[in-house]
């Protein structure tokens, strides 16, 4: 991907999920973080489908720069400060 995603937040979204299919926002534009709300339309980004097979706690990436999409790998701690 050529463009970089927007940083939604500089920490993970830690949550308990029930089994099901979820769509992680890859672009950083969704108002329903960390999930996709279709805000990527017109960009080169698409959501990441995540299948949760058993209830568990997950840490979705909030900065959108993780190397282990869709889960946090600590990359947010290494990103330069914007501003």
Q: What is the pLDDT of residues 11-43, one digit of tens each?
A: 999 999 999 999 999 999 999 999 999 999 999
Q: What is the pLDDT of residues 48-61, one digit of tens each?
A: 999 999 999 999 99
In this predicted structure, the answer to whether residue 8 has a pLDDT above a threshold of 80 is: yes
Q: What is the pLDDT of residue 82?
A: 66
**pTM > 0.75: yes or no:** yes
**Closest Cα to residue 16, out of 71, 55, 60, 68?**
55
Q: In angstroms, what is the C-alpha Rg of the chain? A: 12
8-state DSSP, 34: T
């Amino acid at each position: 991907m050529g463009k970089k995603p927007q940083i939604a937040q500089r920490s993970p979204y830690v949550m308990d999920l029930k089994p099901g299919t979820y769509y992680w926002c890859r672009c950083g534009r969704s108002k329903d973080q960390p999930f996709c709300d279709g805000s990527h339309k017109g960009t080169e980004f698409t959501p990441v489908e995540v299948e949760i097979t058993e209830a568990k706690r997950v840490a979705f990436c909030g900065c959108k720069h993780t190397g282990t999409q869709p889960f946090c790998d600590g990359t947010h701690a290494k990103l330069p400060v914007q501003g």
